[in-house]
């Protein structure tokens, strides 16, 4: 079995179901928005949420992907930065419970967290993020040893905001012989680091995952043309179009991948799990189409649950469906 190392923000979601909007008003958070807060505000919000009962769920885009590759059976490692505190310990130990080698670095700052206010009859989500320790991850933290022995290196696009960090990580991963993949993460990150993203994909990245808006930000084109453009810059391009499915291209080979059937309740985590299924299938040497299909199978499971963690019955179903699909290609 091949191995994969991911690098990303080590963030823990702190979820609270609230009776009304009053806390949103207290902290000037528009309903449904996502705002960054400083440590002081972050601490006050956390204290206030505790009064309503909170649930802690370690997350972060690459961390979610890597947790899924571990569950699928790949040797999986994660590189990220936490504080020397309870939340950081929870992040690390939860990753380890899933079998991930959590290669954590430590900061003086407290651990990053994403506080989620769940309000109203439709369980609307409003976010206040305190990044803390995770933003302290820098190029000087990285040494060649972290990358040794890994076949794949997966980058969370959010980290591209620290260009020096990602330049060094990509160089070290390449030197270690890793296949490099990136999930573009967000259209505004792509927009504000466009030249850097182009250079990274042209020179280092083998596999690109982008959704519709990220692909548009990267190429100024609509999904199908964007796919062609991205695939001309790297080995494999993947453009995901939500519930319509995804498109994959490598050289002249192109496939449209239908979504796997699902009863969706919450799309959170679809992209992260898709990447995990795709990379797992790729590591088994499966054809390009099968990689997209296996990504779609597990993405279809995560949209059936609230949050980013697929439950045990759905993992069991996914593994059966993946096995059947692999047999079809044998």
**Residues making contact with ligand ATP (CB under 6 A):** 211, 240-243, 245-246, 259-260, 262, 264, 267, 269-272, 274, 296, 299-300, 303
User: Taking the complex as a whole, how short is the minimal distance between the CB of residue 259 and ligand ATP, in angstroms?
Assistant: 4
Q: Which two tokens stand for residue 64?
A: 């979610």
Identify which of residues 271 and 277 has a Cβ nearer to Mg ion in the complex.
271
Stretch that binds Mg ion, among 68-76, 101-109, 265-273, 306-314 (CB under 5 A): 265-273
Contact flag: residue 59 with Mg ion (CB under 5 A): no
Q: How far is the CB of 243 from ligand ATP (least distance, A)?
A: 4
Residue 110 CB, nearest approach to Mg ion (Å): 27
Select 173 or 299, whichever has its Cβ closest to ligand ATP: 299
Which of residues 88 and 271 has its CB atom nearest to ligand ATP in the complex? 271
Q: Nearest approach, Cβ of 156 to Mg ion (angstroms)?
A: 10
Nearest residue relative to ligand ATP (C-beta)? 271
| Residue 242: contacted member of Mg ion, ligand ATP, none (CB under 5 to 8 Å, by partner type) | ligand ATP
Residue from the set 60, 83, 271, 277 that interacts with Mg ion by CB under 5 A:
271
**Minimal CB distance residue for Mg ion:** 271
Minimum CB separation from ligand ATP for residue 213, in Å? Answer: 8
- Residue number with CB closer to ligand ATP (168 or 255): 255
In the complex, the residues that contact Mg ion under the rule CB under 5 A are 271
């Amino acid at each position: 079995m091949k191995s994969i190392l991911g690098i990303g923000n080590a963030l823990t979601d702190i979820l609270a179901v609230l009776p009304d909007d009053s806390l949103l008003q207290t902290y000037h958070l528009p309903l449904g928005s996502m705002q960054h807060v400083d440590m002081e505000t972050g601490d006050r919000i956390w204290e206030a949420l505790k009064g309503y009962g909170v649930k802690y769920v370690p997350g972060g885009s690459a961390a979610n992907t890597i947790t899924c590759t571990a569950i699928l059976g790949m040797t999986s490692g994660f590189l990220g930065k936490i504080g020397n505190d309870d939340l950081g310990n929870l992040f690390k130990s939860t990753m380890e419970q899933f079998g991930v080698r959590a290669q954590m670095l430590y900061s003086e700052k407290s651990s990053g967290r994403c506080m989620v206010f769940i309000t109203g009859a439709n369980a609307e989500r409003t976010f206040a993020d305190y990044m803390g320790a995770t933003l302290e991850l820098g190029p000087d933290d990285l040494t060649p040893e972290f990358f040794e022995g890994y076949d794949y290196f997966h980058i969370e696009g959010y980290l591209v905001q620290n260009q020096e960090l990602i330049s060094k990580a990509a160089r070290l991963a390449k030197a270690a012989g890793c296949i490099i993949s990136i999930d573009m993460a967000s259209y505004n990150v792509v927009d504000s680091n466009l030249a850097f993203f182009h250079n990274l994909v042209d020179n280092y990245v083998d596999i690109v995952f982008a959704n519709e808006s990220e692909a548009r930000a990267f190429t100024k084109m609509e999904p199908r043309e964007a796919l062609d453009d991205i695939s001309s810059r790297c080995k494999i391009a993947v453009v995901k179009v939500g519930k319509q499915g995804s498109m994959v291209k490598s050289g002249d080979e192109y496939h449209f991948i239908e979504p796997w059937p699902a009863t969706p309740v919450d799309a959170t985590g679809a992209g992260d799990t898709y990447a995990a299924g795709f990379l797992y299938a790729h590591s088994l040497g499966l054809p390009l189409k099968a990689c997209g299909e296996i990504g779609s199978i597990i993405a279809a499971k995560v949209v059936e649950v609230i949050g980013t963690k697929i439950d045990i019955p759905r993992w069991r179903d996914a593994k059966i469906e993946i096995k059947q699909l692999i047999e079809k290609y044998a």
